[in-house]
Structure 1
Amino acid sequence: MTIEEAILLDTLHCRLNFLKEKQQLTTPQVAEKVNLPIERYKKYEEGSHIPSVIELVFIADFYDTTVDYLIGRTEAS
């Protein structure tokens, strides 16, 4: 794993958890809403896997934010 990938995973992990807690949701609730298997979505929240571009779009849409925010390209959600 490159340093860039590690930073991306950490940023995504932090932002997914922040957004989930901000909306007072559980991991199963979010996984269901974005139509992903819970085990796969947990890996994104844990920072151990990178979602596909399509999955990132679905997650960003659910949280009414941008993919750029989720992956750390901007601080504005």
Structure 2
Amino acid sequence: MKQIIPWGGEKSLLQWQRFQTLTKREKEIIKLIAKGKSNQEISEILIISKHSVHTHRKNIYRKLDVSKNAEIVKISLALELL
């Protein structure tokens, strides 16, 4: 966290804390979102339903307080988590 706080201040610390609340599956989905995969492609790769992917995305948006895939990827890259 020492690298995160000076670089982005309190906002980055908050984003890092929010990222830590994600489940292993949600983090897997973020990596696939970053690769530009669609819900259908993610469901096929992870062998889960499209509905499950949609639910995971909603949870990711809520936990990270974002509304777009690009924001998810931006936060993840800034925190060097991808």
Q: Shorter-chain TM-score category?
A: 0.3 to 0.5
Structure having the higher Rg: 2
TM-score under structure 1 length normalisation: 0.38
TM-score under structure 2 length normalisation: 0.36
Instruction: Name the structure with the higher helix share.
Output: 2
